[in-house]
């Protein structure tokens, strides 16, 4: 069906609205009389994707893009309010954007105008210093943020805030959750990471000793595994905790861990194994870099939830304390659905601020790999802020409960790329994250709700005695994998002086790439069977190998960046045979002169990502040409042959629009962000 209407005016905005659904295609073209700035003709392109988002790109009379905005209308909402109402409402919201230049998140367009909402206002950098008062007013101000403020207001008033020349962008203060969940065979993570190190089975307190890691999570509950030298023997040396600073950003909660997630991550990064040290224990359960000193910045409450504003404040505190505690790594084992481009998302922008200050930021990819609600087999489920190209985004592997790497498999629940809206190729690499043993917080929410995940004494104690209790807990997820990668980054930085981009490039280059083409895993709890492809959007550059990273001398120039590249289909078509390419992102000047990928044979695509990830199921062979010139695979190899419900869900109906693939939060994430991570994947080859 089609319909056209025109309203001529010397000063007008042309709006082109097109979309596609599974059953039908339709297109609208309308012209609305809207004043535009600078007395020049302007045009506005908008595309409406059924059940997705109304996306706008605004150009001035010279054809230059002025700003970007999006307004989301589900088909159900259109049926309720009618197209005649939705259409002018869209233009009303855009009028302010055209006249004043501030932009708003697409999320605001999906809400009722009188709905109460918390928003993050980002200041226009050039005008921030001239502000005499808060943008949203004293009564609506909740907190001042770095480069902006957190406000409580209505949706309509939030949109109006963009009229202020001092406002660059208005975003929703989104809910953020932990990315790990609780399932017993020891995981052998230290041995898996360091296959060539004879002493990897015991804690080396010198590893990471000069480095501070800021753990932004649910807090840290300090027990003997985070105190002293890992021997559990009496004496002065075993009296000092390696948590050097603690602060809570959670209202009405102290610095202790009431959820049990942050302490688990702390143990993965820097646990010293005191509670499993000695001849009576089967395993010394310790972290990747036991010498690390931790900075506890609590943002997750006792239910494992936080919001953008609290995390932004915590990241900013880490930046402020960087030189005091030699903070070189930030761990973010948390995430939420992607709501807008990383270029506008205030959480992603704060991550970039930390990165550019010299701190390596490691982020969980998310646990949406089993989500097939959009018929994409879990592709396009990377969470924010793991969608930021600069950060190291980590997926989860299963060690199969053995120290050998050869039998390890990719987990079914680990989120896959490309990222929504910007199509960033993520994750960057993968690390152990399934059935990970680490420190228990007695009485915490996770211990109470997932009591079956308590590590049985028989799993690590040779001869348990009456009355003895376990000190360890099992959790699954990319949260755990991110903790592993943070420990590895700290160990590398303890021995070598590297920039964040050099750390990322080194870990990606030296990651092992000898994967199977695919694996089939059945969940014994649900009897569901999952087929995992070991492609670039699933395993990234490969499986983290700390021994190889420490031994390597490969590095990149300090002014070059290791930003994750962008995925794009070869032509403006959704033909299932259309190949997928990856190209370097158009980076802001602050990132460095250029991306390193493809700049030499050392940093070529096959060297960094290997050759197997490019072939998927052999749709395309090889990847030895210069970066960006080879196809990854035919899109039907990943998305399936149903282009309306498969590839179109990820890529949208047009490759010209970077936001054509925005999904509603319930469509992708459903009622749980944990996916299959709650019980983890079964060990298919381990004992």
47 class by beta-carbon count within 10 Å (0-12 exposed, 13-18 middle, 19+ buried): buried
Catalytic residue among 261, 264, 283, 286: 261
52 class by beta-carbon count within 10 Å (0-12 exposed, 13-18 middle, 19+ buried): buried
For residues 362 and 486, the answer to whether their CB atoms sit within 8 Å is yes
Those residues whose C-beta lies under 8 Å from the C-beta of residue 683, and which sit 6 or more positions away, are 185, 398, 400, 401, 435
d(CA 435, CA 564): 28
647 class by beta-carbon count within 10 Å (0-12 exposed, 13-18 middle, 19+ buried): buried
Q: Chain-centre distance of CA 325, in angstroms?
A: 25
Residue 479 is a catalytic residue: yes
Q: Which two tokens stand for residue 334?
A: 């948390």
d(CA 206, CA 222): 20
For residues 216 and 315, the answer to whether their CB atoms sit within 8 Å is yes
d(CA 35, CA 166): 21
Question: Mapped to the 3 state alphabet, what secondary structure does 133-191 carry?
Answer: CCCCCCCCEEEEECCEEEEEEEHHHHHHHHHCCCEEEEEECCEEEECCECCCCCCCHHH
Cis peptide before 527 (omega within 30 of 0): no
For residues 49 and 32, the answer to whether their CB atoms sit within 8 Å is no
For residues 500 and 351, the answer to whether their CB atoms sit within 8 Å is no
Catalytic residue among 51, 157, 217, 501: 217
Q: Which residue has the tokens 């930046």?
A: 319
Q: Measure Cα distances from 452 to 372, 401, 440, 674, 687 in Å.
A: 28, 18, 13, 17, 19
DSSP H or E segment with residue 487: helix 478-495
Picking from 633, 639, 611, the residue whose alpha carbon sits closest to that of residue 620 is: 633
Can you tell me whether residue 627 is helix, strand or coil? coil
Catalytic residue among 218, 414, 479, 564: 479
Those residues whose C-beta lies under 8 Å from the C-beta of residue 362, and which sit 6 or more positions away, are 329, 330, 331, 332, 391, 392, 394, 482, 485, 486, 489
78 class by beta-carbon count within 10 Å (0-12 exposed, 13-18 middle, 19+ buried): middle
Those residues whose C-beta lies under 8 Å from the C-beta of residue 644, and which sit 6 or more positions away, are 20, 21, 22, 574
For residues 520 and 589, the answer to whether their CB atoms sit within 8 Å is no
d(CA 444, CA 227): 20
Q: Which residue has the tokens 């001239």?
A: 130
Nearest 5°: the CA angle 553, 624, 570 is 120
d(CA 39, CA 56): 20
Characterize 305-318 residue by residue with b for buried, 16 or more Cβ atoms within 10 angstroms of its Cβ, and e for exposed: bbbbbbbbbbbbbb
Q: Measure Cα distances from 396 to 373, 409, 420, 435 in Å.
A: 21, 9, 20, 11
Q: Write out the catalytic residue numbers.
A: 217, 261, 479
């Amino acid at each position: 069906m089609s319909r056209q209407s025109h309203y001529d005016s010397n000063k007008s905005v042309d709006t082109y609205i097109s979309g596609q659904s599974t059953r039908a295609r339709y297109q609208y073209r309308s012209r609305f009389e809207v004043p535009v700035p600078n007395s020049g003709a302007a045009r506005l392109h908008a595309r409406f994707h059924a059940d997705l988002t109304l996306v706008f790109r605004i150009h001035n009379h010279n054809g230059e893009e002025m700003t970007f905005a999006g307004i989301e209308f589900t088909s159900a909402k259109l049926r309720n309010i009618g197209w005649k109402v939705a259409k002018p409402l869209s233009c009303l919201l855009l009028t302010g954007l055209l006249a004043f230049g501030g932009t708003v998140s697409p999320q605001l367009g999906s809400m009722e105008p009188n709905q109460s909402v918390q928003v993050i206002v980002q200041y226009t950098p050039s005008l921030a210093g001239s502000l005499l008062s808060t943008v949203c007013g004293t009564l609506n101000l909740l907190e001042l943020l770095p480069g902006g403020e957190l406000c409580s207001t209505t949706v309509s008033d939030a949109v109006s805030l963009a009229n202020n020349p001092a406002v660059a962008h208005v975003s929703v203060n989104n809910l953020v959750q932990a990315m790990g969940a609780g399932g017993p065979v020891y995981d052998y993570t230290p041995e898996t990471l360091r296959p060539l190190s004879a002493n990897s089975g015991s804690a080396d307190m010198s590893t990471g000793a000069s480095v501070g890691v800021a753990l932004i999570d649910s807090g840290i509950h300090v027990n003997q595994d985070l105190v002293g030298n890992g021997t559990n023997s009496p004496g002065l040396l075993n009296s000092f905790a390696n948590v050097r600073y603690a602060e809570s950003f959670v209202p009405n909660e102290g610095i202790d861990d009431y959820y049990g997630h942050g302490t688990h991550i702390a143990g993965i990064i820097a646990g010293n194994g005191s509670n499993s040290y000695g001849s009576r224990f089967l395993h010394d359960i310790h972290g990747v870099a036991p010498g690390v000193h931790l900075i506890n910045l609590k943002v997750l409450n006792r239910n494992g939830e936080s919001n953008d504003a609290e995390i932004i404040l915590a990241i900013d505190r880490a930046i402020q304390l960087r030189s005091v505690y030699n903070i070189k790594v930030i761990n973010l084992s948390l995430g939420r659905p992607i709501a807008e481009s990383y270029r506008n998302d205030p959480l992603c922008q704060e991550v970039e601020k930390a990165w550019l200050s010299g701190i390596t930021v490691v982020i969980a990819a998310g646990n949406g790999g089993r989500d097939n609600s959009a018929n994409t087999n879990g592709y396009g489920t990377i969470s924010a802020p793991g969608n930021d190209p600069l950060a190291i985004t980590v997926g989860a592997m299963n060690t199969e409960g053995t120290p050998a790497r050869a039998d390890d498999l990719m987990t079914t629940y680990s989120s896959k790329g490309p990222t929504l809206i910007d199509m960033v190729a993520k994750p960057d690499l993968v690390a152990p994250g399934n059935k990970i043993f680490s420190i228990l917080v007695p009485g915490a929410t996770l211990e109470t709700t997932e009591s079956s995940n308590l590590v049985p004494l028989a799993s690590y104690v040779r001869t348990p005695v009456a009355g003895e209790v376990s000190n360890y807990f099992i959790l699954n997820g990319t949260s755990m994998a991110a903790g592993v990668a943070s420990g590895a980054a700290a160990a590398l930085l303890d021995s070598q002086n590297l920039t964040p981009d050099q750390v990322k490039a080194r870990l990606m280059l030296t990651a092992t790439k000898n994967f199977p083409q695919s694996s089939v895993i059945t969940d014994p709890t649900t009897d569901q069977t999952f087929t995992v492809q070991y492609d670039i959007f699933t395993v990234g550059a490969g499986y983290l190998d700390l021994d190889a990273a420490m031994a390597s001398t490969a590095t990149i120039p300090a002014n070059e960046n290791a930003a994750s590249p962008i995925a794009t289909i070869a032509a403006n078509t959704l033909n299932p045979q259309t190949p997928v390419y990856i190209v370097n992102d158009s980076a802001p000047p602050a990132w460095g002169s250029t991306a390193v990928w493809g700049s030499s044979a050392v940093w070529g695509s096959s060297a960094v990502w290997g050759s197997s990830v490019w072939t998927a199921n052999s749709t395309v062979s090889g990847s030895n040409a210069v970066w960006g010139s080879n196809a990854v695979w035919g899109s039907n190899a990943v998305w399936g042959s149903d282009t309306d419900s498969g590839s179109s869900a990820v890529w949208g109906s047009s490759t010209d629009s970077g936001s054509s693939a925005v999904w509603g939060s319930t469509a992708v994430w459903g009622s749980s962000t944990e996916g299959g991570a709650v019980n983890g994947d079964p060990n298919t080859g381990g004992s």
